[in-house]
Chain A
Amino acid sequence: MIKVKDVTKRFGNITAVDKACFSLNAGESLALLGVNGAGKSTLIKCVLGILDYSGEITLNGLNIKENEKEAKSLAGYVPQEPLFYDMRTRDVLGFFGSIRRVRSSRVDEVLDLVGLKEHERKSTSELSGGMRQRLSFAIALLSDPEVLILDEPTSNLDAGARGDFLNLIKEYKNKGKTVLFSSHRLDEVDLLADRALFMESGKVVFEGRPENLQELLGLKITINLVVPQGSVERAIGILAREGFHNAESNGRGLNIETDSKQRVDVLKKLLQEEIPISDFKIQEPSMENIIDRIKENGY
């Protein structure tokens, strides 16, 4: 469905995307991962035909430079920070619906779909962040496109709104549509992506399936435990005995570095030994960690 070949994008001296290559089959879902500034958004804008580039991008066989409108018609886009003209919600949908030549009843359908029906007469500037994101999603769904392209779709949402929104995307994916999205959160990748693509400094550095991503890269999580000072030494001892050697005191308790899968085991063991855990926190590996690992492993 999407083919990206040797795509390079420069802004002056800065190379934002450097010879990126990937392809995406119909019905597949691909996550673009990377730190801020890695070139994910730029690459997405190239794919959407917003930015000019060198190299070749085709959507369903259509070159976006040669068949601009046909190619653009195939994709719906949810930007990182949705910004609309200062119109009523309904009018915004009407405007983009006209550009996409959809029948006017479609506006009501998508309003229902994203749950904005009751806000249709509000001006876009009166909508909350979550509602704006849903409006943006609704616009993307107007023409029921084959491809959905989302740029960090949840980065500006609170936890509740984020969950709702991810479900909307999931539903869409389950209809067999193609999804391309960028993110810096591994849990979203787990939830939505069939494949993941890592970018760093404009280059695609790694490609893999999310379920074996952590194993493949040997990614560790860190568990922070809050335990009374007197129990710290004992807890480290217990853990060492069970094979968790990367545990150390951190003043308020202890940090344990371990494989993601074994996080439950750690807690289980300590509770069995009646270590009084008053709180705990799990640090997922940061995108920087992941990239570092990728580099170390020479992928």
Chain B
Amino acid sequence: MDIKNVLLIVRKEAGESIKNRWFLLYTICFSLLALLVLFLASSRSEIAGYSGFGKTAASLINLVLLFVPLIALVTGAISISSERENGTLSYLLSHPITKSEIFVGKFIGTLIPIWFSISLGFGLAGVGVAIGGGEGDVSKYITTAFLSALLAASLLSIGLLVSVYSKRASKSIGIAVFLWLLFIILGDLGIMGTTVAMGLGIEQVFALALLNPAEVFKIASVLALSPRFEILGPVGIYAVRTFGKEGVFYLLFGIMLLWTLIPLGYAYLAFTRFRKEEI
């Protein structure tokens, strides 16, 4: 793998993302909403010197959960399928560049703009909080931003996997949006329904929740932001008792890492080995 070629693709992809009007719209929306959330929350965040975890962090987590997976999944899903559909991939491959270089370049090149948009959103919100005199725990804030970045990487990998297996961009966008719904709402809804109907136990609910990268992100963020894992009820208490607070955090972090590396690795192999005929 030639790093020069990878960087060329990174530059191309990043440039295309940033000039894309949908991406710009997304970035602006995300940043403004983040600012709004923090502004509203900092208006009454302290009583007698105590401030709650409350709305600020919850809203931030929710905002990340709604926005980041969608843009990451869709960006990933179209990145290869659209080039395949319009023939530019095949043309690019006629030049002295390998599929590995293209794949790695695409992953990094699409990830960086998403990371930038997350950084921008968190940054603006953080400036707002700092000036407003709200909760000023930098490390928690950075941890959440970092977890969001990891969430983006994970869902981008899943998107890429979708992309590798799609011939048409429209189809891959459809699948990406469905996956988003699945990760953000349907999956949790399914667990909730099953729990109510069949009375799942604490361990089962915890195990099922771990299957969903978005849910894993949420639990990890709550643990990182709040000293109160009990907020997550018996499952949270069980998890912390079983693994320890740091242990749970590393477990969740590890799962998010796996949710990044496995789809990414599989997509890479599929693109470069298993599905060579699908250009």
Direct contact, A vs B (beta carbon within 8 Å):
yes
A113 within 8 A of B: no
State the CA gap A98–B97 with chains docked (Å).
11
B130 within 8 A of A: no
B87, B90, B95: the one contacting A99 at CB < 8 Å is B95
State the CA gap A203–B182 with chains docked (Å).
48
Which residues of the partner chain A approach B4 to less than 8 Å between Cβ atoms? 98
Which residues of the partner chain B approach A84 to less than 8 Å between Cβ atoms? 88, 91
Which residues of the partner chain A approach B97 to less than 8 Å between Cβ atoms? 69, 72, 99
State the CA gap A75–B279 with chains docked (Å).
19
Q: 0/1 per residue, B84-106, Cβ < 8 Å to A?
A: 00111011011111100000000
B177 within 8 A of A: no
Which residue, A48, A52, A85, A100, has most C-beta atoms of chain B within 10 A? A85
Closest to A140 in B: B94
- CB interface residues, B 82-141, toward A, < 8 Å: 86-88, 90-91, 93-98
Q: How far is the CB of B255 from chain A (nearest CB, A)?
A: 35
B230 within 8 A of A: no
B16, B93, B95: the one contacting A100 at CB < 8 Å is B95
Contact B98 A68 (CB under 8 A): yes
Which residues of the partner chain B approach A96 to less than 8 Å between Cβ atoms? 95
Which residues of the partner chain A approach B277 to less than 8 Å between Cβ atoms? 9-11, 51-52
Contact B95 A72 (CB under 8 A): yes
- CB interface residues, A 44-88, toward B, < 8 Å: 45, 48-52, 68-70, 72-73, 75, 77, 79, 81-86
- CB interface residues, B 188-234, toward A, < 8 Å: none
State the CA gap A217–B90 with chains docked (Å).
36
A95 within 8 A of B: yes
Contact B88 A49 (CB under 8 A): no
* Contact A81 B87, CB 8 Å, known A11-B277, A52-B277, A96-B95: yes
Contact A95 B93 (CB under 8 A): no
Closest to A75 in B: B94
Contact A48 B87 (CB under 8 A): no
Q: 0/1 per residue, B2-14, Cβ < 8 Å to A?
A: 1011001000100
Chain A-chain B contacts (Cβ-Cβ < 8 Å), number: 63
State the CA gap A160–B139 with chains docked (Å).
67
B44 within 8 A of A: no
Q: How far is the CB of A123 from chain B (nearest CB, A)?
A: 11
- CB interface residues, A 7-21, toward B, < 8 Å: 9-11
Q: How far is the CB of A38 from chain B (nearest CB, A)?
A: 19
State the CA gap A50–B279 with chains docked (Å).
8
* Contact A51 B279, CB 8 Å, known A83-B87, A85-B16: yes
B16, B87, B96, B98: the one contacting A79 at CB < 8 Å is B87
State the CA gap A84–B8 with chains docked (Å).
15
Contact B94 A50 (CB under 8 A): yes
Contact B93 A49 (CB under 8 A): yes
Contact A85 B12 (CB under 8 A): yes
Contact A69 B91 (CB under 8 A): no
Contact B96 A72 (CB under 8 A): yes
* Contact A83 B88, CB 8 Å, known A50-B93, A99-B96: yes
Contact A83 B86 (CB under 8 A): yes
Q: How far is the CB of A1 from chain B (nearest CB, A)?
A: 17
* Contact A69 B96, CB 8 Å, known A95-B12, A99-B5, A99-B8: yes
* Contact A95 B8, CB 8 Å, known A51-B279, A72-B94, A73-B96: yes
Closest to B93 in A: A50
Q: 0/1 per residue, A1-44, Cβ < 8 Å to B?
A: 00000000111000000000000000000000000000000000
Closest to A72 in B: B96
State the CA gap A213–B94 with chains docked (Å).
32
Q: How far is the CB of B60 from chain A (nearest CB, A)?
A: 35
Q: How far is the CB of A114 from chain B (nearest CB, A)?
A: 17
* Contact A98 B91, CB 8 Å, known A52-B276, A85-B16: no
Which residue, B86, B87, B94, has most C-beta atoms of chain A within 10 A? B94
Closest to B15 in A: A87
Which residues of the partner chain B approach A51 to less than 8 Å between Cβ atoms? 276-277, 279
Which residue, A50, A51, A52, A77, has most C-beta atoms of chain B within 10 A? A50
Contact A82 B91 (CB under 8 A): yes
State the CA gap A122–B2 with chains docked (Å).
30
Which residues of the partner chain B approach A99 to less than 8 Å between Cβ atoms? 5, 8, 95-97
Which residues of the partner chain B approach A68 to less than 8 Å between Cβ atoms? 96, 98
Residues in B lying within 8 Å of A, measured CB to CB: 2, 4-5, 8, 12, 16, 86-88, 90-91, 93-98, 276-277, 279
Q: Can you name 16 A-B pairs with beta carbons within 8 Å?
A: A11-B277, A49-B93, A50-B94, A51-B276, A51-B279, A52-B277, A69-B98, A70-B96, A75-B94, A77-B95, A79-B90, A85-B88, A95-B8, A96-B95, A99-B5, A100-B96
Q: Can you name 20 extra interface pairs (CB under 8 A) apart from A68-B98, A77-B91, A77-B95?
A: A10-B277, A45-B90, A45-B279, A48-B93, A50-B279, A52-B276, A69-B2, A72-B94, A72-B95, A72-B97, A73-B96, A79-B91, A83-B87, A83-B88, A83-B91, A98-B8, A99-B95, A99-B96, A99-B97, A100-B95
Residues in A lying within 8 Å of B, measured CB to CB: 9-11, 45, 48-52, 68-70, 72-73, 75, 77, 79, 81-86, 95-96, 98-100
Please give me the 3 A-B residue pairs with the lowest Cβ-Cβ distance, nearest first: A52-B276, A77-B94, A69-B96
